[in-house]
Chain A
């Protein structure tokens, strides 16, 4: 089970800024371990963010996104207390969903 994400969402002047820090290896599949074996690729492929059930961001990642990926984006609307839900899925079928209330 993957570690939880850190999600911060803050509304200001009708715009909500969301910052997400995921906890994931993001292994590229091109690195070798100490005995020379390729480390298999393991990275987040898809990420969806919703606000009140409406999709506000739909992202796809390649292995070139850094370890423990960071993501920031803004959307119009959002009030204090509204929930922002972020879900990611990786190439091994693992997934994780976390939510945060807009501050």
Chain B
């Protein structure tokens, strides 16, 4: 089991590099709203994912809160919620720094939808979780570390 797990992790790393290469060539920031943003989801590292989302280096905001456990026993199912009191929120994205591809999910919020979403993500290992919020045309970010005792890469 453990050996297999290592292989899986290694392969994961390999795919990450491929993703990087792909992203380096075909990054289309904020592609059409409807289409799946492949460039961002396969960007790999946190920095590349942020770049692919068109966020660059967002400032940290104290008005964004990440509702996630400090310690997640099972990395396959980590509840992560993001809420913010910022006005005019257009989108919320969840990024997990140490996953093979950092971007986990992104939500576009039309007017009238509250800036408060919850979902569950997989985490390969202990990592910083970032919430990226686009509000009033500007990107802002918050971070929380989630410790994982059992990785979720193996599914």
Query: Interface on A for B, CB 8 Å cutoff?
Result: 15, 26-32, 36, 38, 45-46, 54-67, 69-77, 91
Contacts and interface: CB of A to CB of B under 8 A. Distances in A.
B153 A31 contact: yes
B76 A75 contact: no
B122 interface: yes
Nearest to A25: B155
Interface of B: 4, 7-8, 11-12, 15, 33-34, 36-37, 41, 76-79, 81, 96, 99-101, 103-110, 112-114, 116-123, 152-155
B101 A64 contact: yes
Contacts of B107: 57-60, 73
A65 B110 contact: no
Contact of A62 (B77, B101, B155): B101
Given A62-B103, A64-B121, A76 B36 contact: no
A93 to B, nearest CB: 12
B155 A31 contact: yes
Contacts of B106: 59-60
Contacts of A66: 76-78, 119-122, 152
B109 A77 contact: no
B153 A73 contact: no
Given A32-B7, A65-B119, A66-B121, A60 B110 contact: no
A64 B108 contact: no
Contacts of A59: 105-108, 117
Given A60-B37, A64-B99, A28 B114 contact: no
SS class, residues of chain A in contact with chain B:
strand
Contacts of B7: 32, 36
Contact of A57 (B77, B109, B121, B123): B109
Nearest to A41: B15
Given A67-B76, A69-B119, A75-B113, A58 B33 contact: yes
Given A58-B107, A65-B120, 16 more contacts: A27-B155, A28-B153, A30-B12, A31-B8, A31-B155, A38-B11, A54-B110, A57-B107, A57-B108, A61-B104, A62-B104, A64-B103, A64-B104, A69-B119, A70-B119, A75-B114
